[in-house]
């Protein structure tokens, strides 16, 4: 879940390399011919995607749309009007909105005043000045110096901490809670993808505009572009009859990952719901430097457009075997150039959805691909490969494209970016002896809140429903007396399972969502595990003090200082 955006950027770099023999794409001839339609159908079948929608967008506004598969259990077909959540492809709307707001203050068209002591608003304005009293990080230097570009280009020094925020939180809650979360790097030292910073960005817009972020986007972007079916409300999307249902990678239907109460919390980081027809207008905007070609209106001011589409941070510091440049991150967009094709790109992934937007900007074309199952980025990349090959003026020789392109790219990235993560993980043990200490009980952290660990023999009122759910969806794990279970109600998860390893005190934590009564027409129980992290318990003088959870960041010598999170055990 955390790495898909980087895995796919490598894939797209290889995609564009596949056209290395060409200097431009043919954007005039029809692309969605029967042969390409058949290729996409084969990709859909191979990757077991329930439904997929595709837009091929030209700078002049002439677009083509293709759809495959179903949007619902009853077999209703995907159309160009079918609504999908676009997950992290939503981030560019935060950056664009901030650019619009900055311009409004500069031109005196603002309807609210800046905080006391702040005379102007710019991309370099410090968060401490924009949100006095609310913005604070645990690192005093970062807390004082971080500006809008820093947080939107992912160099705040903070890891994702995606499991810290809950469904009942607001963007203000998230902003105020950052002070309780540990950094993983020094400020501006390293690119570290962080959804919460886009929640903060959305909160800035709400605080300075006087209206909710979602209303600001509708008023300044969606309505001017006639994107009237696009929405941040899952309830509105469902009531329209156009929303796609959502599935796991292995074909189980799941509920939409967003709930009605999540609208403002998740809107900035990944909450927009749209269709390929309306996203074509969004892509066309970026092919025309922020100007709506239909009305000649400036939607994104020129300065803001350049700021958000320029790479501010390097996140791929070396070329892949086939690419020509390193890759950078702007504000809501990744940017790279391969074989002379300068491209903007972002992917999106959340439970039940996959999305990708690719814009080779100098070639006057853009591609939108949406799927109604998660972990399908490699398939969307394969679709993009097929489209770009079709667009090439001269035929792209087969040998110029690596076999099994997506698998190659994913393996390449995993080797480079995940080696440290794999190195610290161990396989859960099936022969681990009984621990000498009782690890069950309640643990707490100021940033993450509390959770209670139970074992199979626990009988408390808090443990009973947790164990009942695990017995239905994961009964075999109950056989090990050392396995621990807990409720973990975050936006992304409902439960956690702690499995012992061969190292005393060390566990592997699987986090995900349990569906003890199934979902949709299939009522058999199942679980979806979305993340895995290590946890080390600390025992001193026979007393369990707590546990370190998440990545080892190396900021201290012991478990309490060396992990992303330290949970103290209540005595």
DSSP-derived secondary structure for 484-516: EEEE--SSS-SEEEEEE-SSTTEEEEEEEEEET
Looking at residue 5, its pLDDT comes to 47
The DSSP bridge partners found for residue 509 are 498, 533
- Report how far residue 106's alpha carbon sits from residue 97's, in angstroms, rounded to the nearest whole number: 14
The terminus-to-terminus CA distance of the chain in angstroms comes to 34
A 10 A CB-CB count for 394 gives: 10
Domain ranges of the chain: 4-94+213-417, 112-209, 425-569
Tell me if 264 sits within 8 A of 199, measured CB to CB: no
Cβ neighbors of 370 (< 8 A, separation 6 or more) are 52, 53, 54, 84, 86, 275, 276, 279, 353, 354, 355
Tell me if 99 sits within 8 A of 303, measured CB to CB: yes
- Give the orientation angle of helix 405-417 with respect to helix 4-17, to 10 degrees: 130
Q: What is the DSSP string of 446-476?
A: TTTEEEEEE-TT--STTHHHHHHHHHHH-GG
What fold does the segment set 4-94+213-417 form as a domain? Beta-lactamase (3.40.710)
Looking at residue 456, its pLDDT comes to 96
Looking at residue 276, its pLDDT comes to 99
- Report how far residue 363's alpha carbon sits from residue 240's, in angstroms, rounded to the nearest whole number: 36
Residue numbers of the chain with a pLDDT score lower than 50? 1-7, 19-23, 393-426, 430-434
Tell me if 178 sits within 8 A of 158, measured CB to CB: yes
Nearest to 111 by CA among 120, 123, 121, 101: 101
Looking at residue 32, its pLDDT comes to 96
For residue 215, give the 3-state DSSP assignment: helix
Q: What angle do CA 373, 374, 380 make, to 5 degrees?
A: 85
Dihedral (Cα; 471, 476, 481, 487), 10-degree rounding: -40
Q: What are phi and psi of 353, to 5 degrees?
A: -145, 150
User: Which tokens hold the place of 570?
Assistant: 């209540």
Burial (CB < 10 A; 0-12, 13-18, 19+), residue 288, is middle
- Report how far residue 42's alpha carbon sits from residue 35's, in angstroms, rounded to the nearest whole number: 11
Contacts of 31-34 spanning 24+ positions with Cβ under 8 A: 31/56, 31/64, 31/387, 31/390, 31/391, 32/56, 32/64, 32/65, 32/66, 33/390
CA 401 to chain centre: 28
- Report how far residue 396's alpha carbon sits from residue 206's, in angstroms, rounded to the nearest whole number: 48
pTM (global) more than 0.85: yes
CA atoms within 13 Å, Cβ hemisphere of 298: 10
């Amino acid at each position: 879940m955390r790495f898909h955006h980087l895995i796919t950027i490598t894939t797209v770099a290889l995609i564009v390399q596949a056209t290395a023999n060409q200097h431009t794409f043919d954007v005039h001839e029809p692309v969605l011919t029967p042969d390409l339609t058949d290729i996409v159908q084969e990709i859909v079948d191979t990757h077991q995607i329930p439904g997929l929608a595709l837009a091929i967008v030209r700078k002049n506004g002439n677009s083509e749309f293709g759809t495959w598969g179903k949007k619902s259990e009853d077999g209703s077909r995907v159309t160009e009007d079918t609504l999908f959540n676009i997950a992290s492809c939503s981030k560019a709307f935060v950056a664009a909105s901030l650019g619009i707001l900055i311009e409004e203050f500069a031109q005196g068209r603002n309807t609210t005043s800046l905080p006391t002591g702040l005379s102007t608003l710019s991309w370099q304005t410090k968060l401490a000045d924009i949100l006095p009293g609310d913005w604070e990080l645990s690192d005093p230097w970062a807390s004082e110096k971080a500006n809008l570009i820093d947080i939107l280009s992912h160099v705040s020094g903070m890891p994702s901490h995606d499991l810290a925020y809950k469904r009942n939180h607001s963007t203000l809650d998230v902003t105020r809670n950052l002070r309780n979360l540990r950094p993983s790097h020094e400020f501006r030292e390293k690119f570290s993808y962080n959804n919460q910073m886009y929640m903060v960005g959305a909160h800035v817009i709400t605080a300075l505009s006087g209206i909710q972020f979602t209303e600001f986007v509708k008023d300044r972007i969606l309505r001017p572009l006639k994107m009237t079916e696009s929405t941040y409300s899952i309830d509105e999307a469902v009531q329209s009859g156009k929303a796609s249902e959502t599935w796991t990678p292995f074909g189980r239907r799941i509920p939409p990952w967003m709930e009605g109460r999540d609208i403002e919390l998740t809107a900035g980081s990944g909450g927009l719901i749209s269709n390929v027809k309306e996203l074509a207008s969004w892509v066309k905007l970026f092919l025309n430097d922020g100007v709506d070609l239909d009305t000649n209106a400036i939607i994104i001011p020129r300065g803001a457009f350049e700021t958000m589409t320029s790479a501010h941070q390097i996140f791929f510091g070396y070329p892949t075997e086939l690419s020509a440049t390193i890759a950078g991150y702007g504000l809501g967009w990744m940017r790279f150039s391969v074989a002379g094709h300068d491209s903007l790109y972002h992917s999106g992934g959340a439970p039940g959805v996959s999305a990708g937007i690719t814009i080779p900007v100098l070639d006057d074309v853009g591609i939108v691909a949406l799927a109604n199952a998660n972990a399908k980025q490699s398939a969307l990349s394969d679709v993009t490969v097929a489209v770009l090959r079709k667009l090439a003026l001269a035929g792209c020789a087969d040998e110029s494209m690596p076999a099994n392109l997506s698998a190659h790219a994913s393996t390449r990235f995993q080797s480079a970016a995940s080696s440290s993560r794999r190195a610290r993980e161990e396989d859960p043990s099936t022969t681990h002896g009984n621990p000498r200490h009782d690890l069950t009980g309640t643990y707490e952290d100021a940033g993450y809140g509390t959770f209670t660990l139970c074992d199979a023999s626990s009988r408390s009122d808090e443990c009973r429903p947790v164990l009942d759910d695990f017995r239905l969806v994961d009964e075999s794990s109950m056989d090990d007396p050392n396995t621990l279970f807990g409720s973990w109600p975050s936006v992304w998860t409902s439960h956690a399972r702690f499995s012992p390893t061969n190292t005393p005190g060390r566990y592997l934590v699987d986090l995900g969502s349990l569906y003890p009564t199934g979902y949709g027409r299939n009522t058999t129980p199942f679980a979806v595990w979305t993340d895995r992290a290590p946890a080390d318990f600390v025992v001193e003088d026979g007393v369990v003090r707590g546990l370190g959870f998440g990545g080892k960041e190396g900021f201290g010598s012991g478990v309490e200082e060396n992990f992303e999170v330290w949970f103290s055990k209540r005595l």
